[in-house]
Amino acid sequence: MTGQIEPIARMAQQLSRLPGIGSKSALRLAYHIVSLPQEQVRELAAAIWQGRKDVKLCPVCGNYTVEAPCPICADESRHNGVLCVVREPRDVAAIERMRDFKGGYHVLHGTLSPMEGVGPDDIRIRELVQRVQDEHIREVILATNPDIEGEATAAYIARLLKPMGVLVTRIAHGLPVGGDLEYTDEVTLAKAIEGRREM
């Protein structure tokens, strides 16, 4: 950031800490922000700071929320004995967009990853076990990503919960709707055939 005046260099340095923003884009953004009306920049900075300050984790499900517990956990009609387990808050938003799932959530805030030193105590697995005991849960849907860490985490949780007498299910793997069989990788294809259903 040589050759820049200090306020612009500092702004660019802070922006470059965000994911996907390299030092060149950060500098371009900083120059753009400096050229904006003060009022617009005030709104941007306030939305960033206020947003971070207002958002907390729901003490029950671990999703981002303004109130505690979050609106979903506070909604009695969603206490139907079904919990959907996801890796992060963004996944809750994705499933909610579908407007189809009527149970509760449990956000793990990560997946098991021996490579990165993330063990069972580092994600919200103990809290999940506690909820299954306390909340009369009949079914736990494991909706972690279909990648190595997501599968390993799902397998670990399944082993833990099954002895408790709860139904543990995994979201289906298969061809995405609108996908093309010809261009589907073999693993997905194998999963799709393995998971076939009678019509």
Chain residues in the site for a second copy (CB under 8 A): 2-8, 10-11, 13-15, 17-20, 25, 27-34, 36, 38, 40-55, 64-66, 88-90, 93-94, 96-97
As measured in angstroms, the least distance from the Cβ of 39 to a second copy is: 10
For the four alpha carbons of 100, 93, 132 and 54, in that order, the dihedral sign comes to negative
Of 44 and 148, CB closest to a second copy: 44
Distances (CA, A) of 24 to 35, 51, 187: 17, 26, 39
Q: Which is nearer to a second copy, 40 or 130 (CB)?
A: 40
Rounded to a whole number of angstroms, the minimum distance from the CB of residue 73 to a second copy is 13
**Min dist. Cβ of residue 75 to a second copy (A):** 14
Beta carbons within 8 Å of 191's beta carbon, 6+ residues apart? 173, 174
Pick the closer one to a second copy by CB: 8 or 152: 8
Distance of CA 146 to the CA centre of its chain: 13
- Give the nearest distance from C-beta 45 to a second copy in angstroms: 4
Shorter beta-carbon distance to a second copy: residue 56 or 159: 56
Give the nearest distance from C-beta 123 to a second copy in angstroms. 14
Q: What are the φ/ψ torsions at residue 15 (nearest 5 degrees)?
A: -65, -35
What is the Cα–Cα distance from 199 to 186, expressed in whole angstroms? 23
Angstrom distance (rounded) from CA 120 to CA 158: 13
